[in-house]
Amino acid sequence: MQDSSKIEQRDRWQAELKLDYQLKGDKTCLAKKSQKGPLTVQRPFYPEGGICHNYILHPPGGVVGGDQLQITLKANQGAHSLITTPGATKFYRSKADLESQQTQTISVDSNAVVEWLPQQNIFFSGARSRLNTVIDIQEGGKFIGWEMHCFGRPANQEGFDEGTIKSCTQIIINNELRLVEQLNTEGNTLSQSACGLRDHSMQASLMAAPFSEAHKEKLEQLLQDYPYKDLIGLTLVDEILVIRVLGDRVEPIFDIFISLWSALRSEWLQLSACPPRIWDT
């Protein structure tokens, strides 16, 4: 593990990545890409024909106070992109007067599909971070995505005892704000709260929109097979499906999310599951 004190001594990263996907014939292409600072994307993969798979990379490997990361992604009409990351994003301890920011803006045009499937965020004790995600879906567009947050490092018996995390996710459908999902904590107030994480260290949400009652049944059946049924719940409000999970290890959460994503692909997108190869490494 990198020493966070050494990381703090370097210049603050101001990084920006813009990705523009377009359908050309029967294939989605990364038509435009611009980047500034240490955010980049690997060359596209096409393991299932015309759907574009991309891995977003952050070579420094960690985020500290003062860093500002901005990702802007647009899937134009008819395009279909699947985005993931090769590993967890680590938010290290920061000085009290420095906050890191990560902003993600995802635009889904008409008849386009975006699958936003990053690996987990790990917040080290003492991290001070603000995360903002806006998902804008136009008529006929579809979005599947998840976010997984780990507070502290439970495998090392380290909690999130100090620091501040402020996370906000908004979903807009046909220019109407439908969901504002917020998660805020000062130290361990969230993890110890009975209406928060209930002494667990991980919180994760899987979202799909615009969604309907007609596709819920198979997902509910999968939830019945989940061994930690008291830590998972499904809601469908204003055409937005949200499945929330609590836990202390990423593996069971990742496994159930992959199962749910596979079912969503089959029932909702009429596609077979095609997990990115990086998930097996």
Tokens of 146: 């998840």
Q: What contacts 135, CB < 8 A, 6 or more positions away?
A: 106, 108, 116, 143, 145, 169, 170, 171, 172, 207, 209
Q: How many domains in the chain?
A: 1
Judged against a pLDDT cut of 50, whether residue 27 lies above it is answered with yes
Task: Provide the whole-model pTM.
Answer: 0.93
Judged against a pLDDT cut of 70, whether residue 8 lies above it is answered with no
Nearest to 148 by CA among 220, 52, 256: 256
Tokens of 145: 């995505």
CB distance 135 to 170 below 8 Å: yes
Percent of the chain with pLDDT over 70: 96
Q: How far apart are the two ends of the chain, measured CA to CA in Å?
A: 18
Average pLDDT, the chain: 93
Tokens of 47: 């393991």
Residue 43: how many other CB atoms lie within 10 Å: 7
CB distance 233 to 271 below 8 Å: no
The mean per-residue pLDDT over the stretch 23-34 comes to 97
- Over the stretch 120-136, which tens digit does the pLDDT of each residue have? 999 999 999 999 999 99
In this structure, the strands spanning 80-84 and 52-57 are parallel
The region of weakest confidence among 51-55, 101-105, 276-280 is 276-280
The region of weakest confidence among 4-8, 36-40, 235-239 is 4-8
What is the separation of C-alpha 178 from the centre of its chain, rounded to a whole number of angstroms?
18
Judged against a pLDDT cut of 70, whether residue 10 lies above it is answered with no
As a whole number of angstroms, the distance between CA 270 and CA 200 comes to: 35
The mean per-residue pLDDT over the stretch 175-200 comes to 90
- Containing structural domain, residue 122: 4-280
| pLDDT at 42 (0 to 100) | 93
- Over the stretch 59-81, which tens digit does the pLDDT of each residue have? 887 899 999 999 999 999 999 99
Judged against a pLDDT cut of 90, whether residue 44 lies above it is answered with yes
